[in-house]
Structure 1
Amino acid sequence: VHISVTTDELRAKKLSPIHLEETVKAINEDGYVIIENVVPHEPLDILKEKMDQDSEILIKSEKWGGAGHLHGHLQQGPPPFAPYVFSEIVANPFIIQVSKALFGEGIFNSFYNGNTNCPESLKQPLHMDGKHLWPHLEVSHPPVSVVINISPTDTNEENGSVELWPGTHLIGSTPSPMTTEIEETRRQIIPPIRGNAQKGSALIRDVRLWHRGVPNQS
């Protein structure tokens, strides 16, 4: 689900009740949502310039990270110091609003990091970023944690937008690593989609949602 933020919402720095309801519903049912145009481009441009420089150092050192530690995937966090920490990113009002709607007061950022998908990258194994608290329940529990992916540039199939498997956050008993048989069985029920997002968008996903990095062909 994509939520297009209106001019009035941008001015108020919060989603309308209808958009907030649609956002929470999408996260609960599909496991993800993409809210468009909620992060200003100026801080993203500053951050991207610095992170591109850091990426070159990591690539030359072959400091591959993420699921499988495969070629082309960097576990690369934004610099946690001035002048590269922006409230529009680390304390984005739209993301805070959605997080409070999901979890209530007392929310916090437990992991300030990121993933960089480099050209000629390999396909990651299918995985989750977090586990179920009670994996054997017949009905899975509501979200307890989400991942926020903010796009500093347009992401699409060509440059390796993330592969997402809708609804898989509700599947409790999931072995790790996931087998080809499990993957193909799920594909017949609901196939994966790509998390294509415009610059300044926020992809919010349940930590239990199946996903993986795929080759960046740019």
Structure 2
Amino acid sequence: MQNILQHMISDPELLHPSIHTNLVATQVCAVAMGPNPVLRYHKANTNFPDEARQPVHSDVHYEHPRACFALAVNRIPVDCDAFMGSNEMWLDTHNVTYSRDQDGVRGIFPHLLAERRKVCPPIQPSLKRGSIIIRDMRLWHAGMPNKTEDTVRVKINLIYFANWYRCPMQIKFPPSAKERNEELEKLSGTTIAAQYVEGLNHMTLRHTHDFGQDDKREH
């Protein structure tokens, strides 16, 4: 899969309430995880035409709470279907999965996939431009091949964590974005885990993440 992970431009004039603190999405997050969810991840994926796919996986490869503690809010800025590479989703697996169900970054063990397929086969949704997908981080899923000849599939990915979950991640912003972030927090009832950095260049930021809260993280 020819997929590029990108840091989103964090200049204040590009921080839009309908995207970064969408009230429908943030209200769902608050109901599912408790008040004042925390935005800690702010990136985008661009999937170019290719025949490869990801292994089926969960985004948490370590011991994690049985309760919902993180939700990925995906915004879809272009029409997208299975032919274009919409993500494969294994519905309801967030309620039944454990960290032992997968072999680290190699994904869910094949025998478990075969068993689950008998109960509920995966889907690839067709999505209109502007759609929102809210995915529990424990859900099994996979990036799929974009079978078009020359069309890219873009997806904006924001991850909100429960306020009680002790995740260390912060999003880097230029200092000029501080006032705008505070407006968005007040508007949406969320917290933006912001780190303000002088001379920030989103093109040179490293792609690191740490979804854990204790010592039981994937090394």
TM-score (structure 1 length as normaliser): 0.61
Aligned to 1:93: 23
Q: Distance in 2 between matches of 1:89 and 1:132?
A: 31
Aligned pairs for 1:42-191 (under 5 A) are 71-130=1-60, 131-134=62-65, 141-170=66-95, 171-172=97-98, 173-176=100-103, 177-191=107-121
Pairing partner for 1:202 from 132, 136, 147:
132
One-letter code of the match for 2:134?
I
Deviations 1:181-206 (A, max 9, x none): 22122111110001322111110010
SS in 1 for 2:38: coil
CA RMSD for the aligned pairs? 1.6
CA contact (8 A) 2:3 2:45 kept: yes
**Percent identity (aligned):** 28
Q: Is 1:214 paired with 2:152? A: no
Greater displacement, 156-165 / 170-179: 170-179
Aligned to 2:206: none
Q: Distance in 1 between matches of 2:14 and 2:51?
A: 27
Q: Distance in 2 between matches of 1:195 and 1:109?
A: 25
Q: Distance in 1 between matches of 2:26 and 2:12?
A: 22
1:117 Cα offset (Å): 1.4
1:76 Cα offset (Å): 2.0
Q: Greater relative contact order (Cα 8 A, min sep 6): structure 1 or 2?
A: 2
Q: Distance in 1 between matches of 2:147 and 2:3?
A: 13
SS in 1 for 2:115: helix
**Structure 2: stretches of 5+ with no match in the other structure:** 149-219
1:114 Cα offset (Å): 2.1
Question: When you count helix as a share of all residues, which structure comes out higher?
Answer: 1
Count the aligned residue pairs: 142
Q: Distance in 2 between matches of 1:179 and 1:126?
A: 9
**Structure 1: stretches of 5+ with no match in the other structure:** 1-70, 135-140
